[in-house]
Amino acid sequence: MGDHARIGVVGATGAVGTVTLALLAERGFEDVRAFASERSAGSTVRFGDGELVVERATPDALGAGDVDLFFFSVGTSASRELVPAAAVSGAICVDKSSAYRLVDGYPLVVPEVNGARALDALERDRIVANPNCCSIPLTCVLKPLHDEAGLARVHVSTYQSVSGAGAQRMQALAGESSAEHDLTMDWAWEGDESDEEAKLRAETRKILELPDLPISATCVRVPVLVGHSEAIWVELEEPFSPAEATRLLREAPGVQVLELPEFPTPSAAAGIDEVLVGRIRRDTASSTGLAMYLSCDNLRKGAALNAIQIAELLLAGVAGSRA
């Protein structure tokens, strides 16, 4: 199948959907349809050098059986309504909401970290969950460190751009004066944690298959348009030098290491595929600790690109099973 597959992008007018369409065009996918709610049905979205007319996403339209693979970036309640209808028709569904991420039996996949898990979906109902935009870059960096030295504990503080909250928030920031800019925590509270902090812990544990990993997060929204950053402190099972960690991360897929005087920034990460990691240093508060800092394009690797990489694994898996 590959780039001949019939693709549906649901949520095509949104922040993630727009990037999904751009990346699909870049990667040579040609048979692509755009879906959104009735609000934008009939409008057009850009696809490569041309345009697509947006179709209304209803359970009947998505369940018609004429699409091989859907990308969903529509929010959790819309995903709960639409994904099952599409999956019943036999289509592969890559869902970017939190509807399926933490439900047992649904793979939660970062291809560089646990790509083989994606193929589990082909044995079941063909639904794969795409992780949160902070869990993806975090696990890309933690996985090689865990494999080499064993993770004992993780602390993380995030600096998340407004595009993580959707296209409307991007427009709102663009219309704000710099005096109005602020740091916020605009998530729902679950006791004394935000749901974003709880998600980051639970998703990281699921992706790394470390259900008891101690991990504590503080998530913050910053007035940046695109690009999430994370300050990370890891404790390892045994002492591990910053030089060894740097060597390891240089070899890690999807990761690019920066060394001083360079350091990761959202603007350097925006528009590229790699997770930028730098400031790799000894954590002076822990005998087995390392500190580091990353930036990642939340709309690309944090969302659309990761989902397309999952899709490419699955389409290759389907083609392989038919060969």
Ligand X SMILES: NC(=O)c1ccc[n+]([C@@H]2O[C@H](COP(=O)([O-])OP(=O)(O)OC[C@H]3O[C@@H](n4cnc5c(N)ncnc54)[C@H](OP(=O)(O)O)[C@@H]3O)[C@@H](O)[C@H]2O)c1
Binding positions for ligand X, 68-107, rule CB under 6 A: 73-76, 78, 96-97
**For residues 174 and 323, which CB has a smaller minimum distance to ligand X in the complex?**
174
* 180 HSE (CA, 13 A, CB side): 6
d(CA 283, CA 245) in angstroms, rounded, equals 13
| Beta strands per DSSP E along 15-85 | 32-36, 44-47, 50-56, 69-72
Candidate list 21, 32, 57, 61; residue touching ligand X; CB under 6 A: 57
Question: Which residue reads 């999430």 in tokens?
Answer: 228
What DSSP designation does 9 have?
E
Candidate segments 34-42, 184-192, 207-215, 308-316, binder of ligand X by CB under 6 A: 34-42
228 is catalytic: yes
Binding positions for ligand X, 168-187, rule CB under 6 A: 168
Rounded to a whole number of angstroms, the minimum distance from the CB of residue 114 to ligand X is 17
The answer to whether 299 contacts ligand X (rule: CB under 6 A) is yes
Cis peptide bond N-terminal to 261, omega within 30? yes
d(CA 95, CA 77) in angstroms, rounded, equals 12
Candidate segments 14-22, 137-145, 195-203, 280-288, binder of ligand X by CB under 6 A: 14-22
Rounded to a whole number of angstroms, the minimum distance from the CB of residue 74 to ligand X is 4
Q: Which of 301, 302, 277 is nearest to 290 (CA)?
A: 277
The answer to whether 59 contacts ligand X (rule: CB under 6 A) is no
Residue type, 192: D
Candidate segments 11-19, 25-33, 244-252, 262-270, binder of ligand X by CB under 6 A: 11-19
Q: Which of 114, 77, 113 is nearest to 97 (CA)?
A: 77
Interface residues toward ligand X, by CB under 6 A: 11-17, 36-37, 39-40, 57, 73-76, 78, 96-97, 133, 163-164, 166-168, 298-299, 302-303
Instruction: List active site positions.
Output: 133, 228
